[in-house]
Amino acid sequence: MTGSTKILLCVTGGIAVYKAIALVSKLTQAGADVRVIMSQSAMEFVQPLSFQAMSRNDVYFDTFDEKDSRVIAHIDLADWADLVVVAPATANVIGKYANGIADDMITTTLLATTKEVWMAPAMNVHMYSHPAVLQNIDTLHKRGIRFIEPSEGYLACGYVGKGRLEEPEKITELIMNRKQKSMPLKGKSVVVTAGPTRERIDPVRYVSNFSTGKMGFAMARAAADLGAEVTLIAGPVTLETPAGVTRVDVESAADMLREVETRFASTDILIKTAAVADYKPKLQADQKIKKQDGDTVLEMERTTDILAHMGSIKSNQVVIGFAAETNDVEAYAEKKRVKKNADYIIANDVMQQGVGFGTDTNKVTVFSKSGKSDFPFLPKQQLALELLQFVAEQEGWHS
């Protein structure tokens, strides 16, 4: 298989192991050269012979079972691979890898490899959302490990939720397209704003909104993946900074405006996903305002519209805005694009299930001078990548 993509598949224990057999089959059919390491737990579900038959290669599972005396197996495999894929990736192997533990053949190989590593988690929905698991995933993200997000659906344990191993066909597509990955934003400077702003009333109270910053962080990560130098200006959110992205934290609309203005002259693309407060308290008390009998009135004043302001002073920058609407999405989005001199407005109906603030998915329509383009219901990270690839195509940018 000279010239084939060399995939080292690490299979860890879980009912999703049966999908890993299909994954080997799909990868082999796509022309990849696949070698498999299994954990002891994985062998409780499936015998190594199944993977051997599909891959037409020996299957490894014991660090001390050296099949070729001329080499040390786990080092040789770590060096051999073009790409290391862990699928299914259990909470156990994610935790071990994040903390540098090497107590079996898979974990010793993971620590020995200098090649790109992808992990495809599969586990119970509550395990996947456990703070320890999320922290370990974040640790690995920061080290440049790519995760293939699990899908939502009925799980073997009886729960319904996020935790299913992504389908073998999708994983195969991602792997085989890896070498063809275009970098249309290479050399571009991108500024992304994300999250809410907080407008202080007094030292203990503020006006804000429900934005979590997930879409903005996804756009920042996608821009970096496509080759851009990315600055992420984030309001108060608890998300981890994407790998390869420079983050600047702000609180108020005025803070965010200042940071955008400082960088705008050297920016090629401004992506304004932040849900900036439209109004702020006219007066901000230095001390806590005490509760009084009866009603009270909070006088508000307009904040600077960052999108409109940057649209009015742009020269050759591409300005992209987001519009979260609850009705008449098309009319409001197109009006916003024209009024604010934006090149693109990405609009969604936040009243739809699974769309908008706090969700991991989104469904949008892009409005530009050339018309509108609908994007299907997708995970936010995948959608972000497709949106930026669309913009790059519209602008004539190529890798």
What is the three-class DSSP state of 189?
strand
Select which of 43, 157, 176, 285 is catalytic. 157
* Long-range own/partner contacts, residues 352-361 (CB < 8 A, 24 or more apart): 356/324, 357/209, 357/210, 357/211, 357/212, 357/275, 357/324, 358/210, 358/212, 358/214, 359/214, 360/149, 360/162, 360/214
Q: How far apart are the C-alpha atoms of 204 and 390, rounded to whole Å? A: 43
Residue 15 token pair: 């009912």
Helix 105-112 vs helix 91-98: crossing angle, to nearest 10: 40
Q: How far apart are the C-alpha atoms of 385 and 1, rounded to whole Å? A: 32
Q: Which amino acid is at 23?
A: L
CB atoms within 10 A of CB 56: 12
For residues 260 and 270, the answer to whether their CB atoms sit within 8 Å is yes
157 assigned to active site: yes
Q: Which amino acid is at 91?
A: A
Residue numbers annotated as active site: 157
